[in-house]
Each structure stands twice: as C-alpha cells, then as structure tokens.
Structure 1
Amino acid sequence: MCGTCAPAALGAQAAAPAASAASTANDYRIGVDDVVQVSVWRNPDLGITVPVRPDGKISVPLIGDVAAGGRTATEVAADIQTRLTTYIRDPQVAVILTELRSHEYLSRVRVTGAVRQPVSIPYRQGMTVLDAVLAAGGTTEFAAGDRSHLYRKSDKDTKTMDVQLERILNRGDLTTNFTVSPGDVITVPERRL
C-alpha cells in the first residue's frame, strides 16, 4: 500500500462509524421523561428546555402542546416549525435531546406473579431468568414454576418462551435459564388448587 493511500483509506474507515452513530442518533425516538431543548432562531423567548410529560407532549410558547413521545427530534422540530409559521415568518427550529431518561424505564426486566417480591430491576448484560427471579426473592410456596413464561416484545409481536423454573431451582437444569433482554417480563403463575 502506498504512503499517500493509507491515510485516505483510514479516513474512510473512520467516517463509517461516525455516519452510523449519526444515523442512530437521528433515529432515536423520544420517550417520556427525556429532556428536550427547543430553540427558535432569532426568537430566544420561544426557547425552552423541558422534560416530556407522561402524556408524551411538551408545551411550547405560542403554540401550546406538541406531541414528542415516539417521534424523532427532527419530526418534532418540523411540527413546531410548521405551527410557528402562523406567528413568525420563516421560523428555524432546532430540537435537541439534552437528557435521555426514558431508556432507563425501557431497559428494565420485570418479574411478576408468584414471587416473594414482584420487581422491576435494571437490566445488566448477561442477566438470566434465574438472576431476575432471585432478585424478586425467589418463588412462593404457591408457585407453579414449570409453567413460567418469559415474554419478549419485538417490533412486530411478543415472543413467549416457556421457562421451567422448578427444574432450574430444584435440579440445576439450566436448559430454560434464558439470557434476558431489556424490556423482558417473566411471569410465575400460581398452582391450580
């Protein structure tokens, strides 16, 4: 490889991750409790920095409530810009995420049903069903552990995985001790009497 070619090749390789990161940032969907900053060029009085309310909206001076939850910053900026044209000639709006808080809620694992303490715990890489159930204090005496389920939501549907919790706890059979993902829900039903 020639000496002048190497820097150009390295520059192209370095640009690829940067473009990927920018694409990911542009695709981020704003969630409840995320903090957004709205700036309107040459109109500092219309600028705000606010958390997204539980209803998914933010209040913007002059135009009122604007839906932000589930939308990208670019989509929210375009909506505000369109609505401001009634009051301002050629408004230029920027929406910037200053704090990403909603991912903390989405990045949890929940354990419900016949456990000692139903919990919503922060996801940790490598966490398994057993780890999550132990964080919930284990099962109660009324649990039907082998009828437990792990629910995982994807873009299109919810996947259900059978978990044989009694076998995991009592026999050390780790066949169904699945690795959990952020947003998973583990349910432990009670025995039928």
Structure 2
Amino acid sequence: MNIQYEHLRKIPGATVVLMAVFLLAISACAATGLGGDERDRQSGAGLTPMHGNGAMEYRIGPADILSISVWNHKEMNRTVTVRPDGQVSFALIGDIPAVGLTPLELQGAMERALGEYMELIPGEVSVVVDAVHSYKVSVLGEVRLPGRFEFQNQASVLDALAEAGGLTEFASTSNILILRTTGGQSERIRFDYQQLLKSGSSEARVLIFPGDVILVP
C-alpha cells in the first residue's frame, strides 16, 4: 500500500492544551448524545466491514485522475482530473459532477448526457480511476505520530492507526471516535479497538472513508 503522510512534529504547549480540550469535548458529546444533523453510532452499526473479497465501492473525490473512453469514438477518449468543485469536463456535454459517485454511477450519468448528442447503448462509456488523490484521513489524539495520511488503496481503521505510529499508553482504546460527513450529515462513530482485537477476525476490520477524522482520546 502506497501512503503519503504529513506528521505534526512540533506542537506548541498552548496547542497541546487546546487539542486536549477539544478531545474531551468530543468525547463528552459522544457520551451525552448529539443534536441537529449529527448521528452517533457504534462501530458495529452501519460501518463498512471488509468481507468477501474485501472490496468496497470507491467514490470519486477531488484531484482523482480518471480515464474516460467512448466505444468506437477514440477521438473522444481522454484522461481528466477531478476539479476542486467536484466536476470534470468532457466533449459535447461540458461539465458534469463526479465527486461522490462511483465510477459506474459516473459512467451512467455520462451515457445519459452524451445520449442527447449521439446514439449510445449502456456500457459504451467507460470510466476508470487511474490515480487516487482524495483518500486522505486524519488521525489525532493519543497516537505517536498524529497527522494527515493519504492512502492509494482502501484502508481500515487499524491501517490508519498503524500509520500514525500506534496508540500511546494513555489512549482510551474503547472510546475511539471516527468523525465522518456523508451527504451533508455528520456522524460520530464509536470504535472499540480492544473488542476488535479480541474478535480476531479480519472480516471485522472497519474501513475508513476519504475525509474521515479518527480521534483517540
């Protein structure tokens, strides 16, 4: 697995205090409940586990590089980079939203858009993710190397914790939080590290998603 990361090497004392207060506040919110559009979940309730062949449906993110081709129209084939506004540009149809879609969903959207200008049948447009640059996850709190990590392939919570140097001796292993925003809705997901280790099952490993923040109190 290819990973790029940025470590937080030197943190001023005041920042350490602020981080501690922030982590305590997050933990308190998780314990007392959430309001508004936020939801609270246990790690076994709705998180994406690794099972079967261990694959998950990848959703396109900003800066990802895509190869888009149209069968029997080689002149239209091109490689595009997803812009910060979440869109890509393509011949005839102009800009089309890509962020948050799977390659198959984007393929369908492009077939419908191109269908207004040319005759197509399902499957004649191909979308392939050539390079992933949006799979970035932050790990903060009681880990040895807190920072932001970029993954080139799907990864689990354990993978992220390992890249952060592992837990410190002060970590509350049963109260780890995963902060996630999906469709404008924020979630705080409790992750029990000890329970996962006791299960001893690779299928129980929990996948992380681009943009996740893992907080270890």
TM-score normalised by length of structure 2: 0.47
1:68 and 1:58 map into 2 onto residues whose CA distance is 7
Whether 1:125 and 2:159 are equivalent positions in the alignment is yes
- Over 3 Å counting, the alpha-carbon distance change for 1:126 and 1:34 in structure 2 is closer
Number of residue pairs the alignment of both structures matches: 142
The answer to whether the aligner puts 1:186 opposite 2:212 as a matched pair is no
Task: Tell me, yes or no, if structure 1 residue 38 matches structure 2 residue 68.
Answer: yes
Structure number with higher helix proportion: 1
Matched, 1:80 2:106: no
Greater C-alpha radius of gyration:
1
Per-residue CA distance 1:45-78 (angstroms, 9 max, x = gap): 2211112112221111110111111111111111
Per-residue CA distance 1:14-35 (angstroms, 9 max, x = gap): xxxxxx54x936x221122221
Contact 1:111 1:133 in 2 (8 A): no
Corresponding position of 1:109? 138
Q: Distance in 1 between matches of 2:160 and 2:114?
A: 48
- The residue correspondences of 1:60-79 to structure 2 (distance < 5 A) are 60-79=90-109
Q: Does structure 2 retain, via aligned residues, the 8 Å contact 1:40–1:94? A: yes
Per-residue CA distance 1:101-147 (angstroms, 9 max, x = gap): 222x1xx33337xxxx974246873837x94788xxxxxxxxxx99x
Higher relative contact order (CA 8 A, sep 6+): 2
The amino acid across from 2:138 in the alignment is V
- The 2-side partners of 1:72 and 1:151 are apart by 26
SS at match of 2:105: helix
Aligned to 2:77, which of 22, 35, 47? 47
Alignment of 1:141-180 (within 5 A): 150-153=176-179, 157-159=187-189
Q: CA deviation at 1:83?
A: 0.9
Which residue number corresponds to residue 141 of structure 1?
none
- What RMSD over aligned residues (CA atoms) do the two structures have, in Å? 4.6
- The residue matched to 2:159 in structure 1 has which SS? coil
- C-alpha distance in structure 2 between counterparts of 1:89 and 1:67, whole Å: 22
Query: Which AA in structure 2 matches 1:53?
Result: R
Tell me the residue number matched to 1:96: 128
- TM-superposed CA distance for 1:88, in Å, is 0.9
Partners of 1:40 and 1:127 in 2: how far apart?
Answer: 41
Counterparts of 2:115 and 2:216, CA distance in 1: 50
Q: Percent of counterpart pairs with the same letter? A: 24
